[in-house]
A and B are shown apart, each in its own frame.
Chain A
Amino acid sequence: MPAEGIFLLENSAAPPWWAWHARLRAWWLARVPLADTLALTQGNVYILPTRAGWMLAATLAVLLVASINYQLNLGYLLTFLLAGCAAAGMVVGHGTLRGLTLHLPPPQPLFAGGLAVLDVKLANARRTPRHAIGVALRDTRHWAWADVPAGGEATVQVSFQPARRGLHRVPALTVETRFPLGTFRVWTVWHPAAQVLVYPAPEPLPPALPLGEPRAGSGLAGGARATGEFDGVRGYQRGDPMKLIVWKKFAKSGELVARDTLHMQRQALWLDFARAGGLGTEGRLSRLAAWVLAADAQGLDYGLRLPGIEIAPAGGAAQRLRCLQALATC
Chain B
Amino acid sequence: MLSLPSARGRLAHLPREARDTLFLLAVIGWVLLPQVAHLPAWCSLLAFGVLFWRGVLAVRGRPLPGRWWLVALLLAALAATWASHRTLLGREAGVTLVVILLALKTLELRARRDALVVFFLGFFTMLTSFFHSQSLATAAAMLVGLLGLLTALVNAHRPVGQPSLRESAWLAGRMALAGAPVMVALFVFFPRFAPLWGMPSDAFTGRSGLSSTLRVGSVAELALDEGIALRVRFDGTPPPRSQLYFRGPVLSRFDGREWTARGGDGFEAMAGPPPGDLRVAGEPLRYEVTLEPSGRPWLLAIDAAPRPPELPERWRARLTGDLQWVSAHPVTELLRYRAESYPAFSYGQAGRDGRPRRDLGAWLQLPPDFNPRTQALARQLRAQAPDEDPEAIVQAALRRLAQGGYAYTLEPGVAGRHTADEFWLDAKAGFCEHIASAFVVLMRGAGVPARIVTGFQGGEMNGVDGYWTVRNADAHAWAEVWLAGRGWVRVDPTGAVMPGRIGQFQRLRAPPGLVAGALGTFSPTLLARLRATWEAANNGWNQWVLNYTQSRQFDLLRGLGFAQPSWEDLGKVLAGLLAAAALGGAAWARWDSARHDPWLRLLQRARQRLRQAGIDAPPHAPPRELMRRVAASGMPAALRQPLADWLLALERQRYAPPAAGGAATLATLRRDFHQLQWPRAA
Spell out A's residues near B (CB within 8 Å).
39, 41-42, 52, 55-56, 59, 62-63, 65-89, 91-92, 99, 125, 131-132, 134, 145-147, 178-182
* Given A69-B196, A145-B159, A182-B153, A75-B127 contact (CB < 8 Å): yes
Q: How far is the CB of A46 from chain B (nearest CB, A)?
A: 15
* Nearest-CB residue, chain A, relative to B195: A69
Interface residue? B160 (CB, 8 A): yes
Could you tell me if A74 and B134 are in contact, using CB atoms closer than 8 angstroms?
yes
* Nearest-CB residue, chain B, relative to A60: B123
- B126 partner residues in chain A, CB cutoff 8 A: 78
4 closest A-B pairs by beta carbon, nearest first, are A84-B179, A84-B182, A88-B178, A80-B186
Could you tell me if A84 and B134 are in contact, using CB atoms closer than 8 angstroms?
no
Interface residue? B681 (CB, 8 A): no
Interface of A is mostly: helix
- B333 partner residues in chain A, CB cutoff 8 A: 71, 73
Question: Of A63, A91, A131, A146, which contacts B127 at CB under 8 A?
Answer: A63
The interface stretch among B138-146, B259-267, B345-353 is B138-146
Could you tell me if A74 and B130 are in contact, using CB atoms closer than 8 angstroms?
yes
Could you tell me if B183 and A146 are in contact, using CB atoms closer than 8 angstroms?
no
Could you tell me if A87 and B153 are in contact, using CB atoms closer than 8 angstroms?
no
Could you tell me if A59 and B123 are in contact, using CB atoms closer than 8 angstroms?
yes
- A91 partner residues in chain B, CB cutoff 8 A: 178
Question: Of A80, A145, A182, which contacts B160 at CB under 8 A?
Answer: A145
* Given A42-B593, A67-B127, A81-B180, A76-B190 contact (CB < 8 Å): yes
Question: Of B175, B181, B190, B192, which contacts A180 at CB under 8 A?
Answer: B175
* Nearest-CB residue, chain A, relative to B598: A125
Distance between Cα atoms of A39 and B596 in the complex (Å): 10
The 6 listed contacts between A and B (C-beta, < 8 Å) are A41-B593, A76-B190, A78-B126, A78-B146, A84-B180, A87-B182
Interface residue? B534 (CB, 8 A): no
Interface residue? B414 (CB, 8 A): no
- A62 partner residues in chain B, CB cutoff 8 A: 124
Given A65-B196, A181-B153: 11 more A-B contacts, CB < 8 Å: A42-B589, A66-B127, A74-B134, A77-B545, A87-B178, A88-B178, A88-B182, A92-B171, A147-B163, A181-B150, A181-B157
Could you tell me if B130 and A78 are in contact, using CB atoms closer than 8 angstroms?
yes
Q: How far is the CB of A104 from chain B (nearest CB, A)?
A: 18
Could you tell me if A132 and B159 are in contact, using CB atoms closer than 8 angstroms?
yes
Interface residue? B120 (CB, 8 A): yes
Q: How far is the CB of B144 from chain A (nearest CB, A)?
A: 13
Distance between Cα atoms of A83 and B176 in the complex (Å): 10
Could you tell me if B175 and A85 are in contact, using CB atoms closer than 8 angstroms?
yes
Q: Total contacts A to B, CB within 8 angstroms? A: 158
- B200 partner residues in chain A, CB cutoff 8 A: 69
Distance between Cα atoms of A73 and B332 in the complex (Å): 12
* Nearest-CB residue, chain B, relative to A82: B123
- A77 partner residues in chain B, CB cutoff 8 A: 139, 183, 187, 545
Distance between Cα atoms of A4 and B263 in the complex (Å): 80
Distance between Cα atoms of A55 and B546 in the complex (Å): 28
Distance between Cα atoms of A41 and B547 in the complex (Å): 45
- A71 partner residues in chain B, CB cutoff 8 A: 195, 332-333
* Nearest-CB residue, chain A, relative to B590: A42
* Given A78-B123, A84-B179, A70-B161 contact (CB < 8 Å): no
Q: How far is the CB of A79 from chain B (nearest CB, A)?
A: 8
Distance between Cα atoms of A178 and B159 in the complex (Å): 10
- B139 partner residues in chain A, CB cutoff 8 A: 74, 77
Distance between Cα atoms of A72 and B195 in the complex (Å): 10
* Nearest-CB residue, chain B, relative to A85: B179
Question: Of B127, B131, B150, B160, which contacts A85 at CB under 8 A?
Answer: B150
Q: How far is the CB of A325 from chain B (nearest CB, A)?
A: 29
Distance between Cα atoms of A76 and B197 in the complex (Å): 17
Distance between Cα atoms of A69 and B193 in the complex (Å): 9
Could you tell me if B123 and A132 are in contact, using CB atoms closer than 8 angstroms?
no
Could you tell me if A180 and B179 are in contact, using CB atoms closer than 8 angstroms?
no
Contact with A along B163-176 (1 / 0, CB 8 A): 10000000110111
* Central interface residue in A65, A80, A83, A87, by most chain B CB within 10 Å: A80
Could you tell me if A80 and B187 are in contact, using CB atoms closer than 8 angstroms?
yes
Could you tell me if A88 and B175 are in contact, using CB atoms closer than 8 angstroms?
yes
- A72 partner residues in chain B, CB cutoff 8 A: 127, 130-131, 134
- B113 partner residues in chain A, CB cutoff 8 A: 52
Interface of B is mostly: helix
Distance between Cα atoms of A99 and B600 in the complex (Å): 14
* Nearest-CB residue, chain B, relative to A64: B190
Could you tell me if B178 and A74 are in contact, using CB atoms closer than 8 angstroms?
no
Question: Of A56, A79, A86, A179, which contacts B157 at CB under 8 A?
Answer: A179
Q: How far is the CB of A305 from chain B (nearest CB, A)?
A: 42
In chain B, positions 294-330 with a C-beta closer than 8 Å to chain A are none
Question: Of A56, A75, A131, which contacts B158 at CB under 8 A?
Answer: A131
Interface residue? B14 (CB, 8 A): no
Q: How far is the CB of A131 from chain B (nearest CB, A)?
A: 5
Contact with A along B36-67 (1 / 0, CB 8 A): 00000000000000000000000000000000
Question: Of A82, A89, A125, which contacts B146 at CB under 8 A?
Answer: A82
* Given A74-B130, A74-B545, A77-B183, A180-B157 contact (CB < 8 Å): yes
* Central interface residue in B113, B142, B171, B181, by most chain A CB within 10 Å: B171
- A178 partner residues in chain B, CB cutoff 8 A: 157
* Central interface residue in B171, B183, B187, by most chain A CB within 10 Å: B183
* Given A84-B179, A147-B161, A68-B203 contact (CB < 8 Å): no
Distance between Cα atoms of A81 and B154 in the complex (Å): 16
Distance between Cα atoms of A55 and B122 in the complex (Å): 13
- A84 partner residues in chain B, CB cutoff 8 A: 176, 178-183, 186
Could you tell me if B130 and A68 are in contact, using CB atoms closer than 8 angstroms?
no
- A182 partner residues in chain B, CB cutoff 8 A: 112, 116, 153, 156-157
- A86 partner residues in chain B, CB cutoff 8 A: 179
Interface residue? B548 (CB, 8 A): yes
- A73 partner residues in chain B, CB cutoff 8 A: 134, 187, 333-334, 545-548
* Nearest-CB residue, chain B, relative to A132: B158
Interface residue? B283 (CB, 8 A): no
* Nearest-CB residue, chain A, relative to B91: A70
Question: Of A55, A75, A92, A145, which contacts B116 at CB under 8 A?
Answer: A55
Contact with A along B79-120 (1 / 0, CB 8 A): 000000000000100000000000000000000110011001
Interface residue? B199 (CB, 8 A): yes
Q: How far is the CB of A63 from chain B (nearest CB, A)?
A: 5
* Given A68-B195, A74-B546, A147-B158, A80-B190 contact (CB < 8 Å): yes
Q: How far is the CB of B580 from chain A (nearest CB, A)?
A: 15
Question: Of A55, A146, A181, which contacts B154 at CB under 8 A?
Answer: A181
Could you tell me if A132 and B160 are in contact, using CB atoms closer than 8 angstroms?
yes
Q: How far is the CB of B535 from chain A (nearest CB, A)?
A: 18
* Given A145-B160, A180-B171, A55-B183 contact (CB < 8 Å): no
* Given A71-B333, A83-B182, A182-B156, A76-B187 contact (CB < 8 Å): yes
Q: How far is the CB of B672 from chain A (nearest CB, A)?
A: 23
Could you tell me if A78 and B142 are in contact, using CB atoms closer than 8 angstroms?
yes
Distance between Cα atoms of A73 and B181 in the complex (Å): 17
- B131 partner residues in chain A, CB cutoff 8 A: 70, 72
- B568 partner residues in chain A, CB cutoff 8 A: none
* Nearest-CB residue, chain A, relative to B121: A59
Could you tell me if B179 and A87 are in contact, using CB atoms closer than 8 angstroms?
yes
Distance between Cα atoms of A150 and B336 in the complex (Å): 53
- B192 partner residues in chain A, CB cutoff 8 A: 68
Interface residue? B369 (CB, 8 A): no
Could you tell me if B182 and A80 are in contact, using CB atoms closer than 8 angstroms?
yes
Q: How far is the CB of B186 from chain A (nearest CB, A)?
A: 4
- A83 partner residues in chain B, CB cutoff 8 A: 179, 182-183, 186
Could you tell me if B124 and A59 are in contact, using CB atoms closer than 8 angstroms?
yes
Interface residue? B387 (CB, 8 A): no
Distance between Cα atoms of A36 and B203 in the complex (Å): 63
- A63 partner residues in chain B, CB cutoff 8 A: 123-124, 127
Contact with A along B540-572 (1 / 0, CB 8 A): 000001111000000000000000000000000
- B546 partner residues in chain A, CB cutoff 8 A: 73-74
- B548 partner residues in chain A, CB cutoff 8 A: 73
